[in-house]
């Protein structure tokens, strides 16, 4: 999936959904800082999509919980 999404981002760097999908991949790999960056990019390119904000929030909560535990 990452190979394909990287190709999409090369061809369409402002495609919000591609940034969101890459963020989800990073989240699944536990690369939370990278996930936040891609979710932020998705929001920058489409700030009307609630799921982008939701997933960024979930990752932020997970980052906070890791620091507390």
Overall pTM surpassing 0.85 (yes/no): yes
Write down the pLDDT at residue 46: 98
Write down the pLDDT at residue 69: 72
pLDDT classification of 65: cutoffs 50, 70, 90: very high
Diameter over CA atoms, the chain? 41
How many other C-beta atoms can be found within 10 angstroms of the C-beta atom of residue 9? Answer: 17
pLDDT, tens digit (0-9, with 9 covering 90-100), for 1-53: 899 999 999 999 999 999 999 999 999 999 999 999 999 999 999 999 999 99
Query: What length is written for the chain?
Result: 69
């Amino acid at each position: 999936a990452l190979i394909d999404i990287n190709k999409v981002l090369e061809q369409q760097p402002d495609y919000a959904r591609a940034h969101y999908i890459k963020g989800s991949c990073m989240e699944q790999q536990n690369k939370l800082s990278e996930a936040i960056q891609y979710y932020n990019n998705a929001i920058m390119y489409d700030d009307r999509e609630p799921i982008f904000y939701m997933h960024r929030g979930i990752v932020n909560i997970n980052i906070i919980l890791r620091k507390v535990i």
